[in-house]
Structure 1
């Protein structure tokens, strides 16, 4: 089975051009990091859209991880397998973000900030 990259259509070219125009218009944008005066709380938000892709019925996952008030990680992607229920799709998303939070917590610990961190999953 071939994907769209092997046989692109006109609408794919139009979508790529739209993305490039958007990126060209956001060159002056950036992320702002504010200093954290209290403990470095790690907060994660996660969600899944069960069977969100109509082509292959795979679910979409998304998460956002904050340290203090600053977003440090975010991701949206199609899950690798087909989930049989909403709960299964949500658990898959939760395990992805839990691994990310564990990695960030270990990184902060390595940077000697561990005594100031607390974790929250939402």
Structure 2
């Protein structure tokens, strides 16, 4: 429901996935910070970005540690590709589902986002 020229709840929920910046803004600015769907998708967007960053750091550390093994670079190119495609698909599905007004929970981080949106903490 758009209020006086603002974004609809579903549009704000979908936009929260563009980067973490709109997600943070929607958690701070009224009336979006009072919309349960927007809060949930904003927290899930932030959790998805954090998960991607943590996985990327872990893969990078593992690559550095195992760099001495011959042809390991090829393996890590494939791992990077699979992980990147996986996160991209999760991100895209989340945007589409949010734009439809669905409470689509990604595995693991969806439960965390739901608790955060309800103000229950991690």
Asked if these proteins are the same fold (TM beyond 0.5), I'd say no
- Flag the structure with higher strand content: 1
Give 1 or 2 for the bigger CA radius of gyration: 1
TM-score (norm 1): 0.29
